[in-house]
């Protein structure tokens, strides 16, 4: 059993392969007791921990003043009941106050997990178990379920919740966090990944946590380019290979809040969830609402180990079945032609993809409605007959006759004001009555909380894609939510628009996966604007960034892998201008993830095409390692100016070292001379399939010389080794 309850000391214990999480039921309250290594753990209980009476901290019992919600490490916290730290749950009662205090009623330990659909959540396997704790606020009668699901082998435990209103009237959930964790100590640092469009996750921040709230958040209705929901809370001395690290993430694609704060008891509270700024939910009597799943992991051995837990979790419990198939090497039309596509161009493009040994051609934006630029047509999901006179099906048959598969771009959540859809249904966009509707990329966001919008989209796609053999969808999303209001929701429900929007989006994703079961979906939000575990649940991979410069991608890809595996990281070689050296650099950076190409191969010199053929053939010799291998970082481009890492699977190792120009270096550059493949099998002999040189496993473990780089004019160079056991 990975979850147990010991009646003798009221302890709940949740164990994973290497970690233990424990809390105690005391006075009807869940008191946090331990999160860390399983081996050698001692879990204190209230019998061991002497309570402290702290001035100004409220208590309920004159004879037990030390029992205060303000000073105990809690599993969850409720606004207004004497816990003055950041609150996990605030509910406005029917009488207008926002005070609640939930006490334990019962618990169940069950196999598998609680279904949150349409909200995505980690998929259960044979070992998955869930602890379901029921609590009640005895004044309002509202019921709270706190769920803990254990993903044993990945060392991941998840936290999520449900509230059912039994108060007899409406209540309003005003702040809601999925996870609340009170860790002992206050000497932690928070690592978070900020950024912007085209520089996603490159603001790699490491900030001391102290008194006062330190938060990461998105208020954009999307997880966003600007701030990712991933957080690592680590010991001050933690580095890639050493030190304690707690990792967190949220299986959600909308606005979120993560917060950290240390307190007078020298404990640190960490929370992650929907927050309050972009979320309130009017809950009717008898209604239940769910908070998305937050995941957490503990690593006693640095950031690398934490990342591997998350990679493993996402690969095994998040991505769809389709993601386990070999991924196609795609050729995408966007950077080749932008909107200037038509049937003949795309068929020639497909033939060129086949000629270069690629597997699939992707027809990006510009194939539908009046979409000849970004000013018109979004929402009108019928084929543009000027560009595809015979319709989609005969065109796709021509594409397939060239020998490649076919993928197509969609952006279901959006509408241009200049579209038939908007003209017919101006009330289907997110907007607030009487207020101007902001544009972004000349588009508006459809109100996905409105079932009529979802029905329209399903009907349009059903008709347009009927009998069209589509192998891949690229699902884009190119603006975020302003004026968050719904023309159809009641005034009391407007605060839940963004939450309901996500439910609508997830239900449409679910419909796509069922309607087109053979098609793979790639997620995109102007690149990596929704690079989160919830999107990864539906989509096998994500277009990592609209920035395809190898130089910028080194940083973007390096930090993305702190939280997410290479298997979801879609990377394209773009725009080589007849320069083989550049092509080599772009390729070596792109094979940090799932390889594709995105430029006009029709205008490309033969020598470039020959090189691409060789690249694709080479990639096929090691793509399994990238998709399924275990990832080890050796050197951070942020610290050393060299990004070095390897993937290991069975008897093979793919090692990469990329010299950057060092502009983004944080702190001092350290000289890096050797790369140590520490998990090589020491008794084995390996041959590098690229250079033909042989190494013993012991040599690889001790470290191989990087050798001289030959930087180009901008200071970049890259090296690749593919070791195979012989």
Residue 326's CB is within 10 A of a number of other CB atoms, namely 11
> Considering the complex, what minimum distance in angstroms separates the CB of residue 459 from ligand DGJ?
23
CB of 313 or CB of 409, closer to ligand DGJ: 409
- Respond yes or no: is residue 623 known to be catalytic: no
Where does 575-638 show beta strands of DSSP type E? 594-598, 630-635
Q: 135: which strand partners?
A: 104, 144
> Considering the complex, what minimum distance in angstroms separates the CB of residue 476 from ligand DGJ?
5
The CA-atom distances, in angstroms, between 125 and each of 111, 439, 653 are 9, 44, 28
- H or E element at residue 32: strand 29-37
Site string for ligand DGJ, 694-723 (x = CB under 6 A): ------------------------------
CA dist 143 and 135 (Å) reads 6
* 527 and 477 Cβ atoms separated by less than 8 Å: no
Total H helices, total E strands in the chain: 12, 37
> Considering the complex, what minimum distance in angstroms separates the CB of residue 364 from ligand DGJ?
5
Residue 288's CB is within 10 A of a number of other CB atoms, namely 11
First-to-final CA distance of the chain: 41
> In this chain, which of 143, 476, 498, 688 binds ligand DGJ, going by CB under 6 A?
476
Active-site residue (options: 476, 493, 552, 584): 476
Residue 607's CB is within 10 A of a number of other CB atoms, namely 11
> Considering the complex, what minimum distance in angstroms separates the CB of residue 416 from ligand DGJ?
12
Residue 613, classed as helix, strand or coil, is helix
- H or E element at residue 584: helix 580-590
Encoded tokens for 594: 């799932």
CA dist 517 and 673 (Å) reads 48
CB of 200 or CB of 688, closer to ligand DGJ: 200
> In this chain, which of 182, 365, 532, 584 binds ligand DGJ, going by CB under 6 A?
365
Alpha helices per DSSP H over 261-413: 302-313, 334-337, 343-355, 392-401
DSSP state of 565: -
Q: How many residues does the chain have?
A: 726
> Considering the complex, what minimum distance in angstroms separates the CB of residue 79 from ligand DGJ?
40
> In this chain, which of 409, 465, 506, 622 binds ligand DGJ, going by CB under 6 A?
409
Encoded tokens for 332: 């995408």
> Considering the complex, what minimum distance in angstroms separates the CB of residue 530 from ligand DGJ?
11
| Closest residue to ligand DGJ in the complex (CB) | 365
Site string for ligand DGJ, 412-431 (x = CB under 6 A): --------------------
> In this chain, which of 176, 252, 298, 334 binds ligand DGJ, going by CB under 6 A?
334
489 burial level (CB within 10 Å; 0-12, 13-18, 19+) = middle
Alpha helices per DSSP H over 413-527: 420-424, 451-464, 497-515
> Considering the complex, what minimum distance in angstroms separates the CB of residue 543 from ligand DGJ?
5
> Considering the complex, what minimum distance in angstroms separates the CB of residue 33 from ligand DGJ?
46
CA dist 379 and 384 (Å) reads 13
CB of 337 or CB of 723, closer to ligand DGJ: 337
The CA-atom distances, in angstroms, between 174 and each of 136, 280, 464 are 18, 5, 42
- Respond yes or no: is residue 546 known to be catalytic: yes
By CB under 6 A, the residues from 91 to 130 that bind ligand DGJ are none
Site string for ligand DGJ, 297-326 (x = CB under 6 A): ------------------------------
CB of 77 or CB of 574, closer to ligand DGJ: 574
* 193 and 223 Cβ atoms separated by less than 8 Å: no
CB of 315 or CB of 419, closer to ligand DGJ: 419
CB of 331 or CB of 718, closer to ligand DGJ: 331
Strands 594-598 and 330-332: parallel
CB of 298 or CB of 409, closer to ligand DGJ: 409
> Considering the complex, what minimum distance in angstroms separates the CB of residue 575 from ligand DGJ?
13
By CB under 6 A, the residues from 218 to 277 that bind ligand DGJ are none
Residue among 679, 694, 703 nearest 726 (CA) = 694
> Considering the complex, what minimum distance in angstroms separates the CB of residue 539 from ligand DGJ?
14
- H or E element at residue 587: helix 580-590
> Considering the complex, what minimum distance in angstroms separates the CB of residue 664 from ligand DGJ?
22
CB of 151 or CB of 543, closer to ligand DGJ: 543
By CB under 6 A, the residues from 606 to 635 that bind ligand DGJ are none
Give the number of residues in contact with ligand DGJ, rule: CB under 6 A: 11
CB of 378 or CB of 503, closer to ligand DGJ: 378
Residue among 581, 550, 559, 619 nearest 709 (CA) = 581
CB of 192 or CB of 574, closer to ligand DGJ: 574
455 burial level (CB within 10 Å; 0-12, 13-18, 19+) = exposed
Residue 666's CB is within 10 A of a number of other CB atoms, namely 12
* 308 and 297 Cβ atoms separated by less than 8 Å: no
CB of 259 or CB of 546, closer to ligand DGJ: 546
Encoded tokens for 695: 């190494």
CB of 546 or CB of 652, closer to ligand DGJ: 546
> Considering the complex, what minimum distance in angstroms separates the CB of residue 299 from ligand DGJ?
33
CA dist 74 and 271 (Å) reads 12
CB of 197 or CB of 618, closer to ligand DGJ: 197
- H or E element at residue 574: strand 569-574
Determine, following the binding rule CB under 6 A, whether residue 369 of this chain makes contact with ligand DGJ: no
CA dist 41 and 646 (Å) reads 32
533 burial level (CB within 10 Å; 0-12, 13-18, 19+) = buried
> In this chain, which of 75, 200, 343, 364 binds ligand DGJ, going by CB under 6 A?
364
> Considering the complex, what minimum distance in angstroms separates the CB of residue 409 from ligand DGJ?
6
Active-site residue (options: 359, 546, 552, 623): 546
> In this chain, which of 15, 57, 267, 478 binds ligand DGJ, going by CB under 6 A?
478
- H or E element at residue 258: strand 256-262
By CB under 6 A, the residues from 520 to 549 that bind ligand DGJ are 524, 526-527, 543, 546
Task: Specify the stretch interacting with ligand DGJ by CB under 6 A; choose among 149-157, 422-430, 519-527, 581-589.
Answer: 519-527
Catalytic center residues: 476, 546
Task: State the residues that interact with ligand DGJ by CB under 6 A.
Answer: 334, 364-365, 409, 476, 478, 524, 526-527, 543, 546
């Amino acid at each position: 059993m990975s979850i147990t309850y010991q009646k003798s000391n009221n302890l709940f214990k949740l164990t994973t392969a290497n970690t233990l999480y424990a809390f105690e039921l005391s006075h009807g309250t869940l008191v946090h007791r331990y999160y860390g290594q399983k081996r050698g753990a001692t879990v204190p209980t209230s019998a061991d921990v002497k309570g402290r009476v702290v001035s100004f901290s409220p208590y309920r019992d004159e004879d037990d003043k030390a029992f205060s919600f303000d000073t105990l490490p809690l599993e969850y916290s409720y606004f207004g009941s004497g816990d003055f730290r950041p609150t996990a749950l605030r509910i406005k009662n029917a009488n207008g106050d926002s005070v609640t205090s939930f006490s334990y009623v019962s618990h169940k330990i069950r196999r598998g997990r609680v279904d949150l659909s349409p909200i995505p959540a980690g998929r259960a396997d044979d070992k998955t178990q869930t602890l379901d704790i029921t609590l009640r606020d005895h004044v309002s009668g509202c019921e709270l379920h706190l769920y803990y699901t254990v993903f044993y082998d990945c060392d991941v435990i998840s936290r999520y919740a449900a509230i059912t209103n039994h108060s007899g009237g409406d209540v309003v959930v005003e702040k809601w966090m999925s996870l609340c964790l009170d860790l002992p100590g206050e000497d932690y640092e928070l690592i978070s990944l900020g950024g912007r469009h085209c520089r996603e996750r490159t603001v790699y921040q490491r900030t001391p946590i102290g008194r006062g709230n330190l938060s990461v958040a998105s208020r954009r209705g999307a997880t966003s380019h600007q701030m990712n929901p991933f957080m690592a809370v680590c010991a001050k001395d933690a580095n890639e290979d050493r030190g304690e690290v707690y990792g967190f993430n949220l299986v959600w694609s909308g606005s979120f809040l993560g917060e950290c704060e240390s307190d007078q008891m020298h404990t640190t509270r960490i929370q992650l969830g929907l927050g309050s700024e972009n979320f309130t939910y009017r809950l009717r009597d008898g209604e239940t609402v769910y908070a998305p799943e937050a995941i957490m992991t503990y690593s006693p051995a640095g950031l690398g180990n934490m990342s591997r837990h998350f990679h493993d979790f996402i690969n095994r419990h998040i991505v769809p079945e389709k993601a386990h198939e070999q991924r196609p090497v795609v050729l995408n039309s966007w950077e080749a032609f932008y909107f200037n596509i038509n049937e003949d161009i795309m068929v020639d493009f497909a033939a060129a993809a086949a000629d270069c040994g690629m597997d699939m051609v992707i027809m990006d934006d510009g194939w539908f409605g009046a979409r000849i630029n970004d000013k018109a047509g979004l929402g009108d999901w019928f084929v543009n007959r000027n560009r595809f006179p015979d319709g989609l099906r005969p065109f796709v048959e021509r594409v397939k006759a060239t020998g490649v598969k076919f993928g197509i771009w969609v952006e279901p959540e959006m509408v241009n004001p200049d579209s038939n859809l908007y003209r017919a249904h101006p009330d289907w966009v997110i907007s607030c009555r009487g207020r101007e509707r902001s544009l972004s990329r000349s588009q508006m966001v459809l109100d996905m909380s409105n079932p009529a919008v979802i029905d329209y989209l399903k009907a349009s796609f059903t008709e347009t894609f009927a009998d069209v053999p589509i192998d891949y969808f690229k699902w884009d999303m190119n603006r975020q939510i302003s004026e968050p209001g719904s023309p159809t929701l009641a005034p009391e429900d407007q605060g839940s628009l963004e939450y309901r929007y996500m439910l609508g989006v997830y239900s449409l994703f679910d419909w796509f996966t069922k309607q087109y079961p053979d098609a793979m979906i790639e997620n995109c939000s102007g690149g990596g604007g929704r690079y989160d575990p919830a999107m990864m649940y539906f989509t096998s991979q994500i277009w990592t960034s609209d920035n395809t410069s190898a130089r910028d991608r080194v940083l973007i890809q390096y930090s993305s892998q702190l939280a997410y595996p290479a298997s979801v990281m879609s990377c394209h070689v773009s725009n080589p201008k007849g320069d083989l050296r550049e092509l080599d650099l772009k390729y070596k950076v792109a094979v940090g993830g799932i390889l594709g190409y995105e430029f006009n191969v029709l205008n490309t010199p033969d020598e470039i095409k020959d090189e691409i053929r060789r690249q694709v053939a080479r990639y096929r010799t090691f793509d399994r390692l990238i998709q399924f291998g275990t990832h080890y970082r050796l050197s951070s481009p942020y610290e050393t100016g060299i990004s070095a890492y390897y993937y290991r699977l069975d008897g093979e190792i793919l090692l990469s070292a990329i010299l950057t120009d060092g502009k983004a270096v944080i702190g001092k550059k350290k000289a890096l001379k050797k790369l140590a493949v520490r998990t090589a099998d020491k008794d084995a002999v390996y041959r590098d399939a690229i250079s033909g040189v042989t190494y013993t496993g012991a040599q690889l473990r001790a470290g191989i010389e990087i050798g001289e780089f030959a930087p180009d004019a901008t200071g970049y160079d890259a090296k690749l080794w593919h070791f195979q056991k012989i």
